[in-house]
Amino acid sequence: MEQNSYLKRTWANISLDAIVENYRFVRKHAAPDVKVMAVVKADAYGHGVKFVAPALQEAGADWFAVSNLEEALQLRAIGIARPILILGYTPPQTAKLLARHKISQTVFDRGYGEQLSAAAREAGVTVSVHIKVDTGMSRIGFVYRPNSGEAADEMAAVCRLPGLYPEGIFTHFAAADYDGDPDGSFTKRQGDLFLEAVEALTRRGIVFSLRHACNSAGIFTHPALHLDMVRPGIVLYGLKPSAVMELPGSLRPAMELKTVVSMRKTLHAGMTVSYGRTYTASEDREAATVPIGYADGYIRVFGKGYMLVKGRKAPIIGRICMDQLVLDVTGIDGVQPGDEVTVFGRSGNEILTVDEITAGTGLINYETVCIVGKRVPRIFYQGGQMAGQLNYVIGETAEQW
């Protein structure tokens, strides 16, 4: 398979230009002295971190955030030299790896901090850490409530442990996108608690070079809480944090998901479609089978939606299968095998957004892009040209075919 070719079965087009444009949108709305930590966990939200992270580094991202050690090591392996923070749990015994690769680790309670300190001392290294303060998310972090002297004492004790360097402190907002907090009062309370915790630690002689709280939503809804650094995630990929949130400008979605028509057929009145026979043709209809299914990340809850064929809406009929589904293309002229089908993205003058296909399903746009399957190659474009591809199935052997 040639470097600039790819199998046109089902694939995702990724615009690196869009990602850089969205990064600059964030950069524009943060004060000049505020650093930007690009969140690229989960393979850059399904977009392909091998290409996305270098593009963000070149654009000026100050920091990168990931979920775990493997993701951090992947960034180092692809040439990311900027600081990296692991937002979640890392086994303490990997302290030497953290230090060797200059990866900062989140510490979320005293017990974990003590274990990481012991492992660092045993390895003869110092690990940079960021203290996580739980101000209302209730996942991980030192639980801090008003005038919580005990929590402040615990955090200060961890910061004084040998083998640990207290580089930063942060919290995470639960509802900065106004979903569950329509007037922003809960997020303001979280911000106030966080600043109170920082001040309590300052009184105990602990001062951090980096304080950060704002996620994608918080960057735009609570600018007073930008502090030393902000952590954009979903907005980098051109998607809104929630449907109820308005942004001071436009984002550019970075991913389009495409497939093709594999077969066209006539469904005669009375014929049924797919497993369970949930669809029966009430009259003669024209149908097209397309090779995408739940193994590609297009899961069954999307079954009441549609795709775009030749710029026209083609409803899904029958149940979505593992590898295939069926569209009603009645009234769409000239549909033939090999024709491109837009799962989400642009087709002619029509655009089908990720938010539209998730509406009413109980899913969110984050999930939809993250679950695009690993047998779906990512095709990257920059400056109007194909910049490369990621094929997770045949990997580095792609060129030999």
Catalytic residue numbers read: 41, 275
10-15 and 255-260 beta bridge pairing: antiparallel
Distance CA 104, CA 69 (A): 10
Q: Map tokens 């436009």 to a residue.
A: 250
Kindly state the tokens that stand for 134.
């739980």
Cα 383 from Cα 21, distance rounded (Å) = 12
Residue 307's beta-bridge partner residues?
Answer: 314
Closest CA to 46 of 392, 267, 320, 370: 370
User: Rounded distance, CA 51 to CA 56, Å?
Assistant: 9
Task: Report the greatest alpha carbon distance in the chain.
Answer: 79
By the 10 Å C-beta count (0-12 exposed, 13-18 middle, 19+ buried), 158 is classed as: buried
DSSP string, 39-69: E-HHHHHTT-HHHHHHHHHHHT--EEEESSH
The Cα–Cα gap between 45 and 178 comes to 22
CB-facing half-sphere around the CA of 29: CA atoms within 13 A:
26
How distant, in Å, are the alpha carbons of 68, 278, 317, 321, 325 from that of 275?
39, 7, 11, 8, 10
Distance of CA 374 to the CA centre of its chain: 15
Alpha carbon distances (Å) from 254 to 199, 323, 369, 378? 40, 24, 10, 11
Burial 247-283 (b: 16+ CB within 10 A, else e): beeebebbbbbbbbbbebeebeeeeebbeeeebebee
